[in-house]
A and B are shown apart, each in its own frame.
Chain A
């Protein structure tokens, strides 16, 4: 997903869940910041490098694709953008090596989503924002894995956009720096790379930005799918994501007794369903203005434009022992927590693709 959903739509969902304007701003800022907190940024603000929640394209190109580098990449992308749906998924007649990657395929309503939401409960608003980013991405990034893998993430020429009238058009992805042209149906994706661990095969790179467009309905053959066609209905999924965010935040606020999977807020979103679906189904690359207008209509307050600079000075000016209390400090703590939890779950399932993890409470520091 993009800024339109992570920032503005999350704000709207937070307001509908009962948060105040100020609280909603902290949540939505954190949700969007997950897409910007890179090691380069952390170096600049002298923050903890392990709190990185994403990687720049050039950081990725520079990344080691040896085992340590791959673990580092997987830790970040699986924890924040491609939360695995089922770490114990089974597939017949495959090697252990294949199964490890297969089990990292992202999807909504997996156990890890519940763990993510529970982790955010009772902590900071920044952690809530991180959780909302992760939850939303499980819908947009479903069927792709947050680890470089040709055999999981590759796509091929069998990729069709399905229009509302039922007609289909084959998408021939370009490999240029030109922006996507939704009017002409021209989209860009990463180049085919035959190397299993190539960065080009990370996440939904082989489908470009297309999975992040809320209006997109498409069918394709995922590399792992055994030639079965997958149909992805983004408008329906994005609406579910929005409703699930409201439900999750209501639970975090204490208005719901538990966070159930496959359960979505029924009332708050439905009151505005027509307006929301109008935004989601509108054929545009960037829906920021529409979501912003919607969010402002809910709260009656202005939503400032997102800026990475907003909280840097506060963090830099704070004394060492005060940094964790700043906005960025709380975000870093939340990010470390999320990354740690997901890495531990992946490791505990017998999968070392995200590296090693020990349970401090059981084994102590080593």
Chain B
């Protein structure tokens, strides 16, 4: 990881922690921040997809799909911002989907490692189980917007910590000929 990438990662981790802090302090009003994050996320995704079309997919067979996909995502972002009272459900479903999928992959990965005789599978297994638990909790409290905000905030803290760990990890990318 270059110095610039490390600084960028740390700054993003700090931002995540700040947003998480706001949500823990005031989950009801802070929920608008969650919506804002979702809208910004979608907006950035849409713009990225459109840029991707013009820089890469324009040379690809069937690449025009990327342009249309980018526009739709952008549209959803702009429209979601105007429907701030609807996305409570959307946020919760998004959390459930992300954490459940991530949890399943981690558990399978840990199982594969265990079958191969590796002893370092436990951390991955715990990580996977935690993700699955978060998904289950989301489903249980799906009608409670305040809990959704707390869960989302926990997810932000978790992501921030992981980012900091990644920054501090030694990355072996220099190959000596």
Contact = CB atoms under 8 A, between A and B. Distances in A.
A44 B117 CA distance: 6
A358 B56 contact: no
Given A44-B116, A68-B173, A61 B59 contact: no
Interface string B48-74: 000010011101111101100100000
Contact of B109 (A59, A154, A222): A59
B176 A340 contact: yes
A341 B109 contact: no
Interface stretch (A93-101, A292-300, A323-331): A93-101
Interface string A74-102: 01000000000000000100110110000
Given A40-B112, A40-B118, A358 B175 contact: yes
Interface stretch (A11-19, A177-185, A223-231, A250-258): A223-231
A196 interface: yes
B52 A196 contact: yes
Contacts of A344: 175, 177
Contacts of A361: 177
B105 interface: yes
B131 interface: no
A150 interface: yes
Contact of A225 (B52, B57, B61, B175): B61
Interface string B25-36: 000000000000
Interface string B108-148: 11001100111110001000000000000000000000000
A50 interface: yes
Given A62-B105, A343-B175, A56 B112 contact: yes
B56 A97 contact: yes
B73 to A, nearest CB: 10
A357 B174 contact: yes
Nearest to A42: B118
A104 to B, nearest CB: 14
A356 interface: yes
A312 to B, nearest CB: 10
Nearest to A345: B177
A222 B61 contact: yes
Interface residues of B, number: 33
Given A40-B118, A58-B109, A151-B60, A355 B173 contact: yes
A358 to B, nearest CB: 6
B1 to A, nearest CB: 6
Contacts of A224: 59-60
Contacts of B59: 91, 94, 98, 151, 224, 226
Interface string A23-61: 000000000000000101101100000100000101101
A40 to B, nearest CB: 5
B30 to A, nearest CB: 28
B172 interface: yes
B82 interface: no
Interface in A316-366: 339-341, 343-344, 355-361, 365-366
B116 A95 contact: no
B1 A68 contact: yes
Contacts of B62: 154, 156, 223
Interface string B1-16: 1000100000000000
A127 B51 CA distance: 43
Contacts of A356: 173-175
Contacts of B117: 44
Contact of A341 (B69, B112, B120, B177): B177
Given A62-B109, A225-B61, A340 B177 contact: yes
A98 B105 CA distance: 30
Contacts of B105: 58, 61-62
A61 B112 CA distance: 12
Nearest to A339: B175
13 contacts: A40-B116, A43-B118, A44-B117, A68-B1, A94-B59, A154-B61, A194-B65, A224-B60, A226-B59, A340-B175, A356-B173, A358-B177, A359-B177
Given A224-B59, A225-B61, 15 more contacts: A40-B112, A43-B113, A43-B119, A44-B116, A62-B105, A150-B57, A221-B61, A339-B175, A344-B175, A355-B173, A355-B175, A356-B175, A358-B176, A359-B177, A365-B176
Which 3 A-B pairs give the minimum distances between C-beta atoms? A151-B60, A357-B175, A360-B176
